[in-house]
Structure 1
Amino acid sequence: MSDSPFAAAQMNPDEVYTAMLADLENLNDLMLNFSNAVIIQVAMDEEIAPLLNATAWAQEPIDEGAAVFHPRTLTVNQREVPLLLVRSKIGLVNAASAVTEALSYATDCSGVISAGTAGGLAATTNVGDVIVGTEYTYTDADASAFGYVRGQIPGMPETYGGPDSDVDDAVAAAVEALDAEQAEGGWQVCRGLMLAGHSFVTAHNVKDTREAFPAALSTDMETTAIAQVCHNYEVPFVAVRCVSDLCGPAAGQDFHLGVEVAAARSAQYALRVAAHLWFLRGYTDDTEDTEQESKA
């Protein structure tokens, strides 16, 4: 799509028609070839860079609003897994609107993954750890005056997520494969509650957040909004993020990891989960090959 809404004013009618036709053909190809893609969302350019480096170009990216959509493929055992990489920009609304748009392209989406960086919240969480969500809620939603639990939006569940056999199997297979491939790395993979909100959790408000959500492992500004969208559309969802900072580090703890390092680690796990999830959803020619691929 054109980068500027005023670009057409600088073009003659033939150029406008040609540009519109190219945009429509690109969008049509996307909806035909990526209808069952796995969507991977990140917020920042630094977070999408390792995903782009690890995947192959499939067709021209699409700019819509604040988001950019990159149709890509990941080759796994000579098969091409379709991926729609989404750079949404930071924040709940940016993330939710971008993923909703992506779901209109990938109409039979195999699943949505939120990747990138997060702030470590649990006392046992360290920078460099990979957090895989099982449940998601908001840090700053509070309708408790009306009988709702902290983090719950009225009319919506207390948390999003919950058991999903395909997601659980894909995560387990990805973690097992990566553990087998690398020496002891000094980071852990943790599964549990992830938070998201409009505000950064820092040393001045981390105590309240930990008291309100004692089981929470991490916090960011996108995942719960995406989980809510996926809940509404009944699409499998998981967040796979690497801790780049600690919200309230203890004395002696390392409290920062470069975004490039954290984003690359998250991307490594997210791509593995995406591949396993796509094969587990049955997009292959025969069952035996599917089972072999899911162990890749």
Structure 2
Amino acid sequence: MDATRRPAAVVIAAMSEEVSAFTDLFGGGPVLRGPTGGHDEHHLLDVDGATVAVRRSGIGFTNATAAVAHAFHDFGPGVPVISVGTAGGLAREVQLGDVVVGDSYVNLNADATAFGYVLGQVPGMPPEYGADADLIRRAREVPTDDVVRTASIGSSEVFVTDGRARDLRRTFPTVAAVDMESAAIAQFASVHAVPFVSIRGISDLCAPDGDEFREHLDDAAARAARVAHGVVVGLARGAVLPRG
């Protein structure tokens, strides 16, 4: 496998547990190390003859943005980016173990309402960022026994527990799940026309502390990874099809 070859997809996960949940589905993890930047180098997987880049970003907006920016610099525009990992369930109907495929992303930190922007809107940017329709379709078509929901994901650098969850449900009634990275990657993707989707397994329901998250982290990461795996395999196979 050529480390300089343009990948069929870039997969970004914040935590090592989330990276491993994805790479383990390909029979033992990375087979080659690629360009270095941020927390980790890209791990390059050979997937049915195509290259897939996987990177651990670290937690939070800045780390997530740095990871997608490194990928954009290393591999160029147009490469689909998939964020995979865990999230807290915010909407009442979301349950532990569900997988949420984000169809839009909101920055829960942003408040420029004093200047006429809506809550969650960064000045000069749209109120929310949309996901790539083809990537959503691929995620929805992955065979799985898990509950897969297509819904809005909100991102904040405050871990959401029950008190903050009550406030967020009032101010962002369409947001189904909350994490610390998706909206940051979505903003970069929107500016640079990068196809993007975030796939998140629900690890907690915004409980009063982090115990629920820690208990269900591995299982939730594995559920999201299985859906992301299906998307990536489809992209990889499409990348190596002979051209007529």
Say whether 1:243 aligns with 2:211. no
How many residues are paired up? Answer: 239
Say whether 1:39 aligns with 2:10. yes
- In the other structure, the counterpart of 1:275 is 233
Q: CA-atom RMSD, angstroms? A: 2.3
Report the AA paired with residue 88 of structure 1: S
| Maintained 8 Å contact 2:104/2:152 | yes
- In the other structure, the counterpart of 2:136 is 168
Say whether 1:133 aligns with 2:107. no
Q: Tell me by how many angstroms 1:278 deviates.
A: 4.4
> Per the alignment, in what secondary structure is the counterpart of residue 160 of structure 2?
coil
Tell me, in whole angstroms, the C-alpha distance in 2 between the residues paired with 1:204 and 1:166.
Answer: 36
Q: Tell me by how many angstroms 1:161 deviates.
A: 0.9
- In the other structure, the counterpart of 2:177 is 218
- In the other structure, the counterpart of 1:148 is 117
> Per the alignment, in what secondary structure is the counterpart of residue 60 of structure 1?
strand
Task: Structure 1: give runs of 5+ residues left out of the alignment.
Answer: 1-25, 180-186, 250-254, 288-296
> Per the alignment, in what secondary structure is the counterpart of residue 205 of structure 1?
helix
Distance 1:278 1:161, change over 3 A: farther
Tell me, in whole angstroms, the C-alpha distance in 2 between the residues paired with 1:224 and 1:116.
Answer: 14
> Per the alignment, in what secondary structure is the counterpart of residue 201 of structure 1?
coil
The equivalences for 1:75-114 within 5 A come to 79-114=48-83
Larger Rg: 1
For residues 132-176 of structure 1, give each alpha carbon's deviation from its aligned partner in whole angstroms, at most 9, with x where no partner exists: 0000011111111111111110000111015x44223312322xx
Q: Tell me by how many angstroms 1:283 deviates.
A: 4.6
- In the other structure, the counterpart of 2:25 is 54
In the superposition, the TM-score normalised over structure 1's length comes to: 0.74
| Maintained 8 Å contact 1:37/1:108 | no
Tell me, in whole angstroms, the C-alpha distance in 1 between the residues paired with 2:204 and 2:37.
Answer: 30
Say whether 1:178 aligns with 2:144. yes
For residues 66-107 of structure 1, give each alpha carbon's deviation from its aligned partner in whole angstroms, at most 9, with x where no partner exists: 233211122xxxx32321101001011001001110122222
> Per the alignment, in what secondary structure is the counterpart of residue 91 of structure 2?
coil
In the superposition, the TM-score normalised over structure 2's length comes to: 0.89
* Over 3 Å off, 4+ runs: 277-280
Task: Structure 2: give runs of 5+ residues left out of the alignment.
Answer: none
Tell me, in whole angstroms, the C-alpha distance in 1 between the residues paired with 2:161 and 2:72.
Answer: 33
> Per the alignment, in what secondary structure is the counterpart of residue 69 of structure 1?
strand
